[in-house]
Amino acid sequence: MNAVIPIQQAGGCTDAPVLMERGQREVFCGLTGIIWLHRKMQDAFFLVVGSRTCAHLIQSAAGVMIFAEPRFATAILDERDLAGLADAQDELDRVVKRLLERRPDIRLLFLVGSCPSEVIKLDLSRAAARLSQEFMPQVRVLNYSGSGIETTFTQGEDACLAALVPVLPISTQRLEPELLIVGALADVVEDQFSRLFTAMGGQRFAFFPSRSSTALPAVGPQTRFLLAQPFLGDTAKALESRGATRVAAPFPLGAEGSAAWMQAAGAAMGVPAEVVEQAIAPARQRAEAALAAHRVSLAGKSIFFFPDSQLEVPLARFLARELGMQLTEVGSPYLHRQHLAEELAWLPAGTQLSEGQDVEKQLDRCRAAAPDMVVCGLGLANPLEAEGFTTKWSIELVFTPIQGFEQAGDLAGLFTRPLTRRTLLAA
């Protein structure tokens, strides 16, 4: 099949040097992951044990509707807790009991650690074990850390899913391989992937996290898992400790990435490559046609990635190979070479890679490069816009469904719109 989009082939960055930086960072904390996780896991509740600042952050990020009752809240640590004048464990027990009385629909409760709870050494794992014993089987209680002291915002999902892995059922399958898609996906994307797997003849597949905590997927030695997100290092390690095997693949961004990811999924389920290609051909053609329109605006434009979400390398590959953009620097909070091996091999040779951040030095490099577009966090976007740069919020690329063939044009549109806006403002 001839691709409508001319793929840019140029060397690769498998062994490319990486600029390592360890300085001041500009990132959101892992609590932000609750915003998409609480939408995905429909009977779960996320109770942040933190300060009023934590509560304001989540409320602001979520944009909670007036008439909606969200499935997250904050157990506020006040001055008495921080000073050690109150028994924080007793206070937490009281809050949880009141919450479960008020919300009997909750089946899975996460106690989410924050910077304040970690500073006072509040043992949430002990609290989770005690509360789970009290409220099981009606409610399971788990804990993970969403603290931003050492992590970036997408690692909240990684920590959450890693906490869930030990309670996944044991797979009883001994012969047929089972495929587990790992990473929180929008329901519409999950449904599209399910239809394609079914069309290619795949039968034994599941998604993690599941939409219901009472229907968790089983895992065992026959399980093959395919990452849908590049920031799930701890989750992958936890699954491997349960005997599962990771399937190597690029990530499903764009027509090319989605096709390679689907081929890896098919191979893991024992489906011949030609059958997979036949099943995905119509969707791939639609994706390539959608991308062709955006390529006119983006080809030849330069782009600079600040480290924020860990999506930077797959996004850079997509923009360079399928849309013809020029990569000036691709920064990522963490560069997991094993999980990104296929992505790095597809990056144009000579691409400047950086890991970690020293924000002042990186700002200097960005100004010197004078890119046509900058992908960065909210804290940097407005100042850079004031300096005349065109920016794209990296957090929008996490909140928006961008995986798969049907979303390829939407993903490209997230990059064409800022340039169009800049042109209109200049006029």
Between CA 136 and CA 223 the distance in angstroms is 28
Residue 27 has a pLDDT of 74
Residue 422 has a pLDDT of 85
Mean of the pLDDT values across residues 107-114? 94
Between CA 415 and CA 340 the distance in angstroms is 22
The residues, any chain, with a CB within 8 Å of residue 324's CB and separated by 6 or more, are: 8, 295, 298, 299, 300
Q: Is it the case that residue 417 has pLDDT exceeding 80?
A: yes
- pLDDT tens, position by position, 4-41: 455 555 568 898 899 999 887 777 788 989 989 998 99
Q: Is it the case that residue 166 has pLDDT exceeding 70?
A: yes
**Domains detected in the chain:** 18-25+287-426 (3.40.50.1980), 30-151 (3.40.50.1980), 178-279 (3.40.50.1980)
Residue 176 has a pLDDT of 67
Residues flagged as binding site for [4Fe-4S] cluster = 29, 54, 115
Q: Do residues 153 and 395 touch, judged by C-beta distance below 8 A?
A: yes
Q: Do residues 219 and 171 touch, judged by C-beta distance below 8 A?
A: yes
- pLDDT tens, position by position, 265-324: 999 999 999 999 999 999 999 999 999 999 999 999 999 999 999 999 999 999 999 999
Q: For the whole model, what pTM was predicted? A: 0.92
Q: Which residue has the tokens 């109770």?
A: 47
Higher confidence at residue 203 or residue 427? 203
Q: How many CA atoms lie within 13 A of 141 on its CB side?
A: 23
- pLDDT tens, position by position, 79-106: 555 555 456 788 889 999 999 999 999 9
Q: Worst-scoring range by mean pLDDT, 55-59, 266-270, 347-351, 356-360?
A: 55-59
In terms of C-beta density within 10 A (0-12 exposed, 13-18 middle, 19 or more buried), how is residue 56 classed?
Answer: exposed
Q: Is it the case that residue 153 has pLDDT exceeding 60?
A: yes
Give the residue ranges of DSSP H helices in 229-272.
233-241, 254-268
- pLDDT tens, position by position, 202-261: 888 999 999 999 899 999 999 999 999 999 999 999 999 999 999 999 999 999 999 999
Residues flagged as binding site = 29, 54, 115
> At 3, is the pLDDT very low, low, confident or very high (cuts 50, 70, 90)?
very low
Between CA 121 and CA 178 the distance in angstroms is 40
Q: Is it the case that residue 347 has pLDDT exceeding 80?
A: yes
Residue 175 has a pLDDT of 63
Name the nearest CA neighbour of 167 among 216, 106, 107, 223: 216
- pLDDT tens, position by position, 130-144: 999 999 999 999 999
- Mean of all residue pLDDT scores within the chain: 90
3-state secondary structure the chain: CCCCCCCCCCCCCCCCCEEEEECCCCCCCHHHHHHHHHHHCCCEEEEEEECHHHHHHHHHHHCCCCCCCCCEEEEECCHHHHCCCCCHHHHHHHHHHHHHHHCCCCCEEEEEECHHHHHCCCCHHHHHHHHHHHHCCCCEEEEEECCCCCCCCCHHHHHHHHHHHHHCCECCCCCCCEEEEECCCCHHHHHHHHHHHHHCCCCCEEEECCCCHHHCCCECCCEEEEECCCCCHHHHHHHHHCCCEECCCCCCCHHHHHHHHHHHHHHHCCCCHHHHHHHHHHHHHHHHHHHHHHHHHHCCCEEEECCCCCCHHHHHHHHHHHHCCEEEEEEECCCCCCCCHHHHHHCCCCCCEEEEECHHHHHHHHHHHCCCEEEECHHHHHHHHHCCCCEEECCHHHHCCCCCCCCHHHHHHHHHHHHHHHHHHHC
Q: Is it the case that residue 364 has pLDDT exceeding 60?
A: yes
Between CA 256 and CA 249 the distance in angstroms is 12
Q: Do residues 34 and 72 touch, judged by C-beta distance below 8 A?
A: yes
Between CA 328 and CA 371 the distance in angstroms is 7
Per-position b or e across 358-384, b if 16+ CB within 10 A of its CB: bbeebbebbeeeebbbbbbbeebbeeb
